[in-house]
Amino acid sequence: MNKIGPIAVFDSGYGGLTVLDKIIKHLPQYDYIYLGDNARTPYGTRSFEVVYEYTLQAVSRLFDMGAHLVILACNTASAKALRSIQQKDLPLIDPQRRVLGVIRPSVEKVNELSQSGHVGIVGTSGTVQSESYLMEIAKLFPDIQVSQEACPMWVPLVENNEFDSEGADYFVKKNVNSLLYKDASIDAVILGCTHYPLLIPKIKKYLPEGVNVIEQGDIVGESLKDYLQRHPEMEKKCSKNGSVHFYTTESTDKFKQTAGIFFSGDIRVEHIRL
Ligand code: DGL
């Protein structure tokens, strides 16, 4: 096994590319591999057991490919699989490797992002049902009031390139109104799903002016930079040639066609089976 390797970014499909895009802007010097489990997406409607099983398969594969550090860019995987993998599996697979998620870095910023102390979370049904955001925010900022809204149609709208359509207006308005009905004092909304940044213009259109819409990409990029500074033993294991390689469990042609919506760089992709 190589002593150094790429940083791996995993998602159930394309959405994690919005996070990878921002991570690379913050940390362009490293090598990255991105794995999209496009053949089995979406994860957002799947059970805890299935999301855990699929995510563990992906993480193990990324370790085999030489990564010492895996970022679960998927909120659903971070909500349903991260803790079990960190506590149960990593000590058995290799206690020196690390798997990090996207929920904790977003939660750590919540108090800076809201003035009113009333925060909204939008996410997949799986992320919302897991209550991960509620629990994490309650631990760090017990005074912040959090309301959640599951938006099951938003991922299919983005995946099908319909994020700028009238259909998107209909579903975004419906979910945003439902969130505001739960708490009209919300002044910050966390986009708790990797696909949602593409819907930002529509989300802002239906939120009252001045509400802070929080994208995770930059937050995760900054948090990873900070993590690598605080963990030189891990930083030393990350190779630095500025390369990015993509892997998909679906067809590579389809990946190349769609990935450009989410990621601004060059896309060289290979197929793998998990
Ligand atoms: N990537 C997932 C997330 O961030 C959304 C897509 C899915 O449902 O698989 O929650």
pLDDT in tens, 245-261: 999 999 999 999 899 88
- 2 lies in some domain: no
Could you identify the atom of ligand 1 that is nearest to the CA of residue 41? 9
Specify whether 114 is located in the same domain as 185. Answer: yes
Residues acting as catalytic residues = 74, 193
Range of the domain at 95: 7-102+218-271
Residue listed under structure tokens 């096994």: 1
Closest C-alpha to 70, from 22, 3, 9: 9
Percent of the chain with pLDDT over 70: 99
Asked whether the predicted pLDDT for residue 161 surpasses 70, the reply is yes
Give the mean model confidence (pLDDT) for residues 31-44.
95
244 pLDDT tier (thresholds 50, 70, 90): very high
Residue ending a domain, choose from 199, 216, 233 = 216
Q: Are 154 and 196 in contact (CB under 8 A)?
A: yes
Specify whether 201 is located in the same domain as 123. Answer: yes
For residue range 67-105, list pLDDT tens digits in order.
999 999 999 999 999 999 999 999 999 999 999 999 999
Residue ending a domain, choose from 188, 216, 244 = 216
**pLDDT score recorded for residue 265:** 84
Closest C-alpha to 26, from 245, 255, 219, 202: 219
| 42 DSSP 8-state letter | -
- 255 lies in some domain: yes
159 pLDDT tier (thresholds 50, 70, 90): confident
Tokens of 126: 């799986």
Looking up residue 223, the CATH number of its domain turns out to be 3.40.50.1860
**pLDDT score recorded for residue 1:** 53
Asked whether the predicted pLDDT for residue 2 surpasses 70, the reply is no
* Probe residue for ligand 1, chosen from 48, 74, 148 as the CB with the greatest number of ligand atoms within 8 Å: 74
For residue range 198-215, list pLDDT tens digits in order.
999 999 999 999 999 999
Alpha-carbon separation of residue 263 from 15, 43, 258 (angstroms): 9, 20, 9
Number of structural domains (the chain) is 2
Q: How far is the CA of 13 from the centre of ligand 1 (A)?
A: 7
Q: How far is the CA of 236 from the centre of ligand 1 (A)?
A: 31
**pLDDT score recorded for residue 178:** 98
Euclidean distance between CA atoms 239 and 164, whole angstroms: 38
Specify whether 117 is located in the same domain as 132. Answer: yes
**pLDDT score recorded for residue 21:** 94
Beta-strand (E) ranges in 37-151?
69-72, 98-100, 118-123, 145-150
Helices (H), 85-184: 90-93, 103-108, 110-113, 125-130, 132-140, 154-159, 166-182
Specify whether 247 is located in the same domain as 199. Answer: no
Specify whether 137 is located in the same domain as 90. Answer: no
Specify whether 172 is located in the same domain as 240. Answer: no
Specify whether 140 is located in the same domain as 71. Answer: no
Euclidean distance between CA atoms 180 and 182, whole angstroms: 5
